[in-house]
Structure 1
Amino acid sequence: MALTQKELGYISDELASEQLIIKKYQTAVNQVTDPQLKNLFQKNIGIHQNHYNSLVNLLHPIEDEASYFIDRCLLLFTAGLTQSP
């Protein structure tokens, strides 16, 4: 089932949000000295990285379909070039 443009937009927004959250936690990890806080922030980085990866995995079938379509078009185009008129 293909995703709509609106759904792709939502996923794109969520990917950007997850990246921002991960960056903020990474900055916090580098700034705090309390080991418990570092550990908590690193754990949260892992959680949000998993969210990010899950969203990216939603897009893989779309990439596979697009890749197949492009490969098929190139094959047909190349076959057309090798055939005499």
Structure 2
Amino acid sequence: MNRAQREAAVRRIMEQTPPRVPPGLYAEAVRRGSRLLRRRAAVRRLLWLLLLAAAVAFAVWALTVQPWVRPPSETTPPLTGW
């Protein structure tokens, strides 16, 4: 197919009327889009809730275990002067 034939084919395609869109297509697209947005919002809320729960669990663990305190010595000092 040379350039003139391609240009003629493109002109024929451009002169045709566009295909008809099915009547329920717009409503279906809006329904799916709103469902997708609701799902994304729910996932975002769930992730924030999980992050908050992890932060609370870490705070409770840190307050009960107190990892910043030095552990007690396991050996006793020698007893002298008895």
**Range class of TM-score, shorter chain:** 0.3 to 0.5
TM-score of the two chains, using structure 1 as the length reference = 0.40
Q: Identify, as 1 or 2, the structure richer in helix.
A: 1
Q: Which has the larger radius of gyration?
A: 2
TM-score (norm 2): 0.41
Higher relative contact order structure (alpha carbons within 8 Å, sequence separation ≥ 6): 1
